[in-house]
Amino acid sequence: MSALTLNCPVPAVARDHVSLGHGSGGKLSAELMRDVFLPAFRNETLERLEDQATVKLGNVQIAMTTDSFVVKPLFFRGGDIGSLAVHGTVNDLAMGGATPLFLSVAFIIEEGLPMETLRRVTASLGRAASACGVQVITGDTKVVDKGSGDGVFINTTGLGLTPEGLYLSAGAARPGDAVILSGFIGDHGIAILAEREGLEFETQVESDSAPLHTLVAQMLETTRAIRCLRDPTRGGVSSSLNEIAAQSQVGILLEEEAIPVRDEVRGACEMLGLDPLYVANEGKLLAIVDPSDADKLVATMRRHPPGLEARQIGIVTESDRGWVTMRTVLGTTRIVDMLAGDQLPRIC
Amino acid sequence: MRYVDEYRDPRIAQALVDRIHTRTKKPWVLMEICGGQTHTLMRYGIDELIPPKVELVHGPGCPVCVTPIEVVDKAAEIAARPDVIFVSYGDMLRVPGTRSDLFRVKAHGGDVRIAYSPMEAVKIAANNPSKKVVFFGIGFETTAPANAMAVWKARELGLKNFSELVSHVLVPPAIRLLLNSAENRVQGFIAPGHVCTVMGYWQYKALVDEFHVPIVVGGFEPVDLLEAILMLVTQLENGQAKVENQYGRTVDYAGNHPAQVIMEEVFEVADRKWRGIGTIPMSGLRLRDEFAVYDAEKIFGVEALEAEEPAECIAAQVLQGLKKPIDCAAFACQCTPEHPLGAPMVSAEGACAAYYQYRRHAASLKCIA
């Protein structure tokens, strides 16, 4: 068959404009990084593509990360944009093994936002920061015309200290390593979806938004044989594991039966045609660890609230390099692909 | 979780697999009609579990995939208008038209919204009287009653700013087309469970009698599909051809009567073009004349918009079960979900997308994205 016979309906995927999929954490986001940002800013630290940058300043290792929060609705079951803006950045630092210390907070506020809403968000952000033991030490405010924003957008930048000699990396996974997940997946994404305007879907699911740095500190005390930590936020568990498989050039084989999903989340996903593996989390982590320390690590995690449901969900393999695969409940194997953009609810 | 776990139970599945192996003596070609069923077969690797003699080919029942390219163009044109709020089921947004898609229209400032039900679009219309609200009314018999109800409700509410861009298709005429084709290889069909939840399965009796081909109404879980395969193989090995219902927990013979009534009231059967296949006589639904004021094609004057699809596109062969996605030279090379060349790669339910998403590592492909 010649390629010439394949001029079927012309592709019209937007490449000349940014589409929402570019912000999904999937392949389009990776493309944006590769084609636009990396060429403009190229340096060795950025090229590692970790959740945080770790740099040496004199005798100390500093971790730095930044994240913007554009969640709608601003308040949701289990959290709000304020607490989320703290947890998201604290967790990105924690995934590098760093102790979070300082935050900057920048608000982009839409004209007309009720002052009361701003106060509630700010108070929640402040409470979350103190609970995490981090200080907000600088910030910025901009106000945009009505219609140019969505209530309020928040950017937080975090600074932390990484223990001497610790270097966790998505490129460090080795065949044989255990893949550990800290708990139920998909809670945040489904909690948000359930509250979105127009989706008449009732569920009691709460966002799992929570800081993970104390859990990580306990984990690092238990073993230094952790290769990599990732918090599977947008794009879900699948995107994080695909990044690790690609950057480490290893395969990752998951056991479908081992992956914990709450019944409410499963039910919502079944109805909406979504796969929990691609749904966002805001208080979960994935750990890649030397197999001999896996049980010990799980035991430690299970003693700390964000890790009570921790378990091994798969292994790192020599075969299928660059792929994440899953042994299904029926014993067959399938790919767990990285999505192009956001998951789209199916028609029927 | 009830109604899910028992239909994914590995022991029940294995028992069915064993029975299929015992029952199968001759080679058979079976087709699942619905894209949701294709998705499950690929996701659970069911084709790996059944005997190699039983070949599964994938049918045209992905509503997103078969929506004609000019309808996507019409949608994009309407959605780009500043006075319009365009509301659609989510998976239509990425479908490429000839020049654009709804995501792109949205990126250029069009007000395109995702809904889970057309009734949400009616609500949006009621709340936005200064805007024209258009719902993208596509799909098989499954979505038709709800889409009909939205139009009916808009009339009841006296809404002047609601319309639907309708491109509905029907399953039985597509099966008839496949069976009439000289190239047809399919010897048994798994009929789409959700379509039959609405329509029942009385419509399939005529096909079974005329073509002496077994049809089993099947569900969407692995155990459903294995059971449907077992029922088809059993009929074929015994030389039988009858309609059977595997999906009895939601489907009965007559179907959902109130749903059929509302469809009948709002829509009438008409010729429809299928993307990748062409026009099939009396294979779709359009708004009845008395509902013409809710017809977005008329309101926005896009009726005449035409777009050519090359007849040689392999999508046509894939949608008719003549070729497998991996038979295509472009599969996973030039053609990926990010850059779909053809309809079956566009929606997650399309056969090409299902292969791409779940199985492409196993295929010996020179080119993998």
Taking only the tens place, the pLDDT of each residue in B150-160 is 999 999 999 99
Q: Is the pLDDT of residue A4 over 70?
A: no
Q: Is the pLDDT of residue B312 over 90?
A: no
Distance of CA A200 to the CA centre of its chain: 26
Average pLDDT over residues A80-85: 97
- Does the N-terminal peptide bond of residue A73 adopt cis geometry, omega within 30 degrees of 0? yes
Q: Are A233 and A227 in contact (CB under 8 A)?
A: no
pLDDT band for position A8 (50/70/90)? very low
Q: Return the CATH superfamily for domain A49-162.
A: PurM-like, N-terminal domain (3.30.1330.10)
- pLDDT the model gives residue A199: 57
Contact A12 B96 (CB under 8 A): yes
Contact B63 A5 (CB under 8 A): no
Architecture of domain A178-335: Alpha-Beta Complex (3.90)
Nearest CA in chain B to A26: B338
Q: Is the pLDDT of residue B196 over 60?
A: yes
- pLDDT the model gives residue A1: 29
Mean pLDDT over each residue of chain A, to the nearest integer: 91
B140 touches chain A (CB under 8 A): yes
Residue type, B347: S
Q: Which chain A residues are closer than 8 Å to B329 by Cβ? A: 1-3, 6
Mean pLDDT over each residue of chain B, to the nearest integer: 92
Taking only the tens place, the pLDDT of each residue in B85-115 is 999 998 888 888 888 889 889 989 999 999 9
- pLDDT the model gives residue B369: 41
Q: Is the pLDDT of residue B364 over 50?
A: no
Q: Are A151 and A110 in contact (CB under 8 A)?
A: yes
Q: Are B20 and B233 in contact (CB under 8 A)?
A: yes
The partner residues of A61 in beta bridges, in order of sequence, read A56, A162
Taking only the tens place, the pLDDT of each residue in A135-155 is 999 999 999 999 999 899 999
Question: What is the β-pairing status of strands A152-162 and B267-274?
Answer: unpaired
Domains of chain B in start order, with CATH, are 1-312 (3.40.50.11740), 314-359 (no CATH)
Report helix angle B35-43 to B351-359, nearest 10: 10
Q: Is the pLDDT of residue B289 over 80?
A: yes
The partner residues of A287 in beta bridges, in order of sequence, read A180, A229
- pLDDT the model gives residue B367: 56
- pLDDT the model gives residue B321: 82
- pLDDT the model gives residue A201: 62
Is ipTM > 0.85 here?
A: no
A72 touches chain B (CB under 8 A): no
A198 touches chain B (CB under 8 A): yes
Q: Which residue from B8, B92, B194 is facing A329, i.e. has the nearest CB?
A: B8
Same fold, A49-162 and A178-335: no
A27 touches chain B (CB under 8 A): yes
A197 touches chain B (CB under 8 A): no
Taking only the tens place, the pLDDT of each residue in B19-58 is 999 999 999 999 999 999 999 999 999 999 999 999 999 9
- pLDDT the model gives residue B305: 85
Q: Which chain B residues are closer than 8 Å to A190 by Cβ? A: none
Q: Is the pLDDT of residue B342 over 80?
A: no
Buried b (16+ CB within 10 A) or exposed e, B125-140: bbeeeebbbbbbbbbb
Q: Which residue from B96, B103, B340 is facing A19, i.e. has the nearest CB?
A: B103
Contact B309 A12 (CB under 8 A): no
- pLDDT the model gives residue A110: 96
- pLDDT the model gives residue A9: 34
- pLDDT the model gives residue A200: 56
- pLDDT the model gives residue B309: 63
Q: Would you list the DSSP string of B80-143?
A: TSTTEEEEE-GGGTT---SS--HHHHHHTT-EEEE-SSHHHHHHHHHH-TTSEEEEEEEESTTT
Quick one: what percent of chain B has pLDDT higher than 90? 71
- pLDDT the model gives residue B213: 98
pLDDT band for position B297 (50/70/90)? very high
Taking only the tens place, the pLDDT of each residue in A157-179 is 999 999 998 999 999 999 999 99
pTM value is 0.88
Report d(CA B233, CA A280) in Å as an integer: 42
- pLDDT the model gives residue A231: 96
Contact B96 A344 (CB under 8 A): no
Beta strands (DSSP E) in B22-66 are 28-34, 54-61
